[in-house]
Amino acid sequence: MNDIVKFAEIVDEAARIAKAIPQFTTSAPLGVDEAYDVQARSIERRLARGESLVGVKMGLTSRAKMIQVGVDEVIWGRLTDAMRLEEGGALSKKRYVHPRIEPELAFLMKRELSGDVSAAEALSAVEAIAPAMEIIDSRYENFKFALPDVIADNSSSSGFVVGNWGRPDQDFSNLGIVMEVDGRAVQIGSTAAILGHPTRSLVAAARVAACIGGLKPGWIVLAGGATAAHPLSVGQHVRTIIQNLGSVSISIT
Ligand code: 0L1
Ligand code: MG
C-alpha cells in the first residue's frame, strides 16, 4: 500500500474513533502536495460512508492563528454535512480528541466560483454571510504537527456551527468579534484580522477549490479564525457575537 493511501486510512480512522496518533512527518517524508492528496483520500472515505461535501474551510488566515500553531501559510480543508452542529445545540466532547473552538465568518454561496477571481466577482457569488464557529481537533498527539501533517488531517477541521444568515451587501471588513465561554469573553478580535478582509479568504477559497471543481451553490465557506482557538471542556456554553451580524452558540456536553 502506498503511503498516501495508508496515511489517509490512519487519519480517517483517528478522526472516526477520536484517537490521537503520532504526527506523520516525524517518521516519514510527506510534502504539502502529497498531504492534500491524503486529505482528499481521507475525505473520500467519509463520502463512501454516506457523508456529503458541503463546503470548505480556510485556515491560518490570521496572525493569531499562525502564531498559536507555529505555521505561517494559509491552508484549507473540506466540510461535510456530518461536521455541522446545530446552532444553540450540543457538542459531545467524547467524539473529539482535544477539541478547540474559534470564531469564524461564514459565506453561503449562491453561484459557482472557481479559479482566479477578483474580490467583486467573489462577493457577487455570495448569497449570505453569518457568524460561525469552527471546532478544531487535531488528530495528532499533543496538538503538535508540521504543515503537511495538519493539511493531511483536513486542516484540523472537525465541526462547525453557523448562526443566522444575513445580507452580504453590508460592510463586514472590520466588525468586532467577541467569543464568550459561560458569559466571559475569552477571545476578542475583528473580521479585519482575516487576511485584512474576509473577502480575501473567499478569493483564496475559489482558487484552492478549483482542483475539486470550484465552490458550488449552497456550499459554505468558513473564512478562517480571527483569533486564537479556545480549548473546550464539558459544561461550557460558548457564544460568539459578531457586530451587526448576530451571534452563534453551542453547549459542550
Ligand atoms: O485556522 C484554522 O482553522 C487552522 C486549523 C489548523 C491549525 C489548528 O489546528 O489550529
Ligand atoms: Mg478555522
Average pLDDT over residues 67-84: 91
ipTM, two decimals: 0.93
Residue 75 CA: which ligand 1 atom is closest? 4
User: All 3 cell numbers of residue 68?
Assistant: 498559536
Cα 74 to averaged position of ligand 1 atoms, centre (Å): 9
**Contact call for residues 226 and 189 (beta carbons, < 8 A):** yes
What percent of the chain is modeled with pLDDT above 90?
92
Query: pLDDT averaged over the chain?
Result: 96
pLDDT tens for 77-133 read: 999 999 999 999 999 999 999 999 999 999 999 999 999 999 999 999 999 999 999
DSSP string, 23-50: -GGGTS---HHHHHHHHHHHHHHHHHTT
Which sequence spans correspond to the domains of the chain? 3-252
Which of 1-10, 82-91, 96-105, 146-155 comes out lowest in average pLDDT? Answer: 1-10
* Phi/psi at 33 (5° precision): -65, -40
If you search the block for the grid coordinates 453590508, which residue do you land on? 170
Q: What integer pLDDT is reported at residue 146 of this predicted model?
A: 93
Please say whether the structural domain 3-252 has been given the CATH code 3.90.850.10: yes
For residues 226 and 72, what is the distance between their CA atoms, to the nearest angstrom? 14
- Cβ–ligand 1 contact at 194 (below 6 Å): no
pLDDT tens string 183-232: 999 999 999 999 999 999 999 999 999 999 999 999 999 999 899 999 99
**Cell numbers 480543508: residue:** 77
Question: Ligand 1: does its nearest atom lie under 6 Å from the Cβ of 159?
Answer: no
The ligand whose atoms approach the alpha carbon of 221 most closely is 2
Q: Which residue has the higher pLDDT, 250 or 63?
A: 250
Asked if residue 207 lies in contact with residue 141, where contact means CB atoms within 8 angstroms, the answer is: no
Q: What pLDDT was estimated at residue 68?
A: 83
Using the mean position of ligand 1's atoms as its centre, give its distance from the Cα of residue 5 in Å.
Answer: 23
**pLDDT confidence of residue 69:** 79
Atom 2 of ligand 1, residue of closest alpha carbon: 59
Residue 67, pLDDT score: 87
pTM: 0.96
d(CA 7, CA 3): 6
